[in-house]
Amino acid sequence: MENIFTDAFFMKKALQEAEFAFEKGEIPVGAVIVIDNKVIARTHNLTELLHDVTAHAEMQAITSAANFIGGKYLKDCTLYVTLEPCQMCAGALYWSQISKIVFGASDENRGFQKMGTQLHPKTQVISGVLEKECGDLMKAFFKNKR
């Protein structure tokens, strides 16, 4: 039997979260954290609703997953996020020692790769999973705003 638990499978769940953000008028970024093919956190950007720059999807997902695990390290976890993490989120992921980060669309301006933010040496990064779908949602959001 084919393994259904691909990176695209979980990125679709992150994309669903991004769509919730979109509906609320938030920049549409969604995230899930997975351990042993089980989703233990699902979040979306809430910076406008909460008036809080720290309320990025990834930050909430880290807090939520750590709460589920009962410890602050996310060593056996994978984060799926629709947009490349920023400096803040990558800095939080550094502290979490997360095993794997999978992101959809790149953020050429404020993504951690361009900004040179350091991840934990054990963290694996995969990019471009459902890149078009994740990027198209962002474009639709900013087109609406203009």
Instruction: Give the catalytic positions in this structure.
Output: 58
Cross-strand partners of 124: 100
Assess 121 for contact with a copy of itself (CB under 8 A). no
77 annotated ligand-binding residue: no
Element (H, E) at 93: helix 87-96
Measured from the CB atom, the residue of 48 and 76 that comes closer to a copy of itself is 48
Among 8, 35, 39, 115, binds a copy of itself (CB under 8 A): 115
CB atoms within 10 A of CB 3: 7
- The stretch among 15-23, 29-37, 93-101, 122-130 that binds a copy of itself (CB under 8 A) is 93-101
Measured from the CB atom, the residue of 74 and 102 that comes closer to a copy of itself is 74
Query: At closest approach, how far in Å is the CB of 62 from a copy of itself?
Result: 6
Sign of CA dihedral 68, 71, 72, 74: negative
Among 6, 24, 25, 52, binds a copy of itself (CB under 8 A): 52
* 78/10 Cα distance (integer angstroms): 10
**Cβ within 8 Å of residue 69, ≥6 positions away:** 35, 40, 77
> Is 11 in contact with 82 (CB distance < 8 Å)?
yes
Among 5, 24, 37, 95, binds a copy of itself (CB under 8 A): 95
Assess 99 for contact with a copy of itself (CB under 8 A). no
Assess 25 for contact with a copy of itself (CB under 8 A). no
